[in-house]
Amino acid sequence: MKPIFSRGPSLQLRLFFTVIIAIVMIFADSRLGTFVKIRTYMDTAVSPFYFLANGPRQILDNVSATLTSREQLVRENAALRQELLLKNSDLQLLGQFRQENVRLRELLGSPLRQEEQKMVTQVLSSGTDPYSDQVVIDKGASEGVYEGQPVISDKGVVGQVIAVGQFTSRVLLICDVSHALPIQVLRNDIRVIAAGNGCTEDLQLEHLPNNTDIRVGDVLVTSGLGGRFPEGYPVAVVSSVKVDTQRAYTVIRARPTAELQRLRYLLLMWGVDKNSRVALPTDDVHKVANERLMQMMPHVLPSPDMGPPAPSGTPAQAPDFVGPPAPPARSAPAVQERRSRSSQNPTTSSQNTPAQESSARAATAPGTPAQNASGRTMSTQNAPTQNTPTQNTPSERRQPSAASPGASSSGGNR
């Protein structure tokens, strides 16, 4: 006789197999990316609900803008006009600097950097997962969005795209615990890694020794070493520096420049080619970073002493020209013999210039200060008289004309 209710596997066995299948699926998704396409299809299927949920907020924004008072509109219009005037003046200088940069790069033979193409996007929703900081934007594969694409705001770097649907995309913020970004200090070019620590906390700079020269208030910009984010975009400002005496390293935290908890409109960036993936030199990073800081957030501009420290003192001057050493001074009989020759040949002695005469005087009287052709006195030092061979002093080395025939013949005229 068959039982009325057939007995299946026990609950413990079912739970065991379920856990094993879940572990295998998680491993396959994280390591092999097996369910990437399935996740993309699911995001595309759910995207209409994002737009539907975002509809009431857009309606309320439009209604509030319509009911704004006339006085407030006038004030906003005046403020926007003033801001537009300042931005236009900065754009004029920026265009001039850009053309100058292009010409200098052509002269140096460096590859020209392409301008990044940007597209404005709107945040549809933020993630509800407490262990992941992500947002959903209203641009997808139909607009050319790709995985790993950098995303910025009007104040700094926001994150990168990690999942792309047909009409929506998912952006991982830089404050997420699984995100790390290569950056550098704008003041002294120290390159470090900024790791996310949750959007309620500041970014953390890891693996730094105690003697690292990073101060509170230093501006951190993208270094471009990862090949994903362009160089020079502001990321954070150092908020605290604490030395851990027990672990022999410095705990540094930095506050992101972008308001990551109040994101509304973002910018998607294109145009990162093979040449621009190579990190720029230090001077170019400084120029690009200062230009972008001027445009995006002038209230955190670095101080005038920002950048690598200048060398102390005045630059060393090049040493005076040192000519070939003059031959040893002749004895008295040789000088008298040359004087007698010069007296027999007055034509040669009459062609001597004042400069030759002054140099001859310096050669015959080494103990007195010599004068050059311009009349300036050149100080010399009397060498001590010794029985050893005569050594030429620096002043004699600077006057190679002292032993010239014209100089020796001028002694007869004197």
In a domain, 48, yes or no: yes
192 Cβ partners below 8 Å, 6+ apart?
182, 183, 184, 185, 205, 206, 207, 208, 214
User: Six-digit token pair at 9?
Assistant: 């596997």
Q: Are residues 128 and 243 in the same domain?
A: yes
Domain assignment present for 389: no
Kindly state the average pLDDT of the residues 37-45: 80
**C-alpha of 306 from chain center:** 11
Structurally, the chain folds into a number of domains equal to 2
pLDDT of residue 360: 44
- Regarding whether 254 and 184 lie in a shared domain, the answer is yes
Take residue 368 and report the two structure tokens written for it: 């007195």
Residue 276 has a CB neighbour count (10 Å cut-off) of 19
Residue that terminates a domain, selected from 112, 144, 168: 112
Query: Are residues 186 and 206 part of one domain?
Result: yes
* 171 and 144 together in one domain: yes
- Which helix (H) or strand (E) covers residue 270, if one does? strand 265-270
Helix (H, G, I), strand (E, B) or coil at 400: helix
CATH of the domain at 199: 2.40.10.340
The DSSP element (H or E) to which 236 belongs, if any, is strand 234-244
Among the ranges given (10-19, 256-265, 365-374), the one the predictor scored with the smallest mean pLDDT? 365-374
Query: What is the structure's pLDDT at 42?
Result: 82
Considering the domain architecture, whether residues 173 and 260 belong to the same structural domain is answered as yes
Closest by alpha carbon to 399, among 373, 54, 299, 74?
373
What CA–CA distance (Å, rounded) separates 84 from 77? 10
- Do 124 and 244 share a domain, yes or no? yes
Give me the domain span that covers residue 142: 118-272
pLDDT band for position 54 (50/70/90)?
confident
What is the per-residue pLDDT across 287-346, written as a single tens digit (0 to 9) for each?
Answer: 666 766 666 665 555 554 544 444 444 444 444 444 444 444 444 444 445 554 544 444
**Domain identity same for 30 and 70:** yes
Within-domain flag for 122: yes
Note the pLDDT tens digit of each residue in 195-230.
998 888 899 997 788 888 899 999 999 988 878 888
Regarding whether 155 and 72 lie in a shared domain, the answer is no
Domain identity same for 197 and 220: yes
Average pLDDT, the chain: 72
CA 299 to mean position of chain CA atoms: 19
* Residue 245 shares a structural domain with residue 159: yes
**138 and 107 in a common domain:** no
Q: What is the pLDDT of residues 123-179, one digit of tens each?
A: 988 876 777 889 999 999 989 999 999 999 988 999 999 989 888 999 999 999 999
Question: Is 219 within a domain?
Answer: yes
Whether 148 maps to a domain, the answer reads yes
Is residue 295 in some structural domain? no
Q: pLDDT for 61-78, tens place per residue? A: 778 777 777 788 888 899
129 part of a folded domain? yes
Q: Does this model's pTM top 0.75? A: no
Q: Is the pLDDT of residue 363 over 50?
A: no
367, part of any domain: no
Which of 67-71, 255-259, 282-286 is modeled with the greatest confidence? 255-259
- Using a 10 angstrom Cβ sphere, with 0-12 exposed, 13-18 middle and 19 or more buried, the burial of residue 272 is buried
Looking at 244, 272, 300, the residue that finishes a domain is 272
Residues 162 and 255 in one domain: yes
**Residue where one domain finishes, among candidates 112, 135, 164:** 112
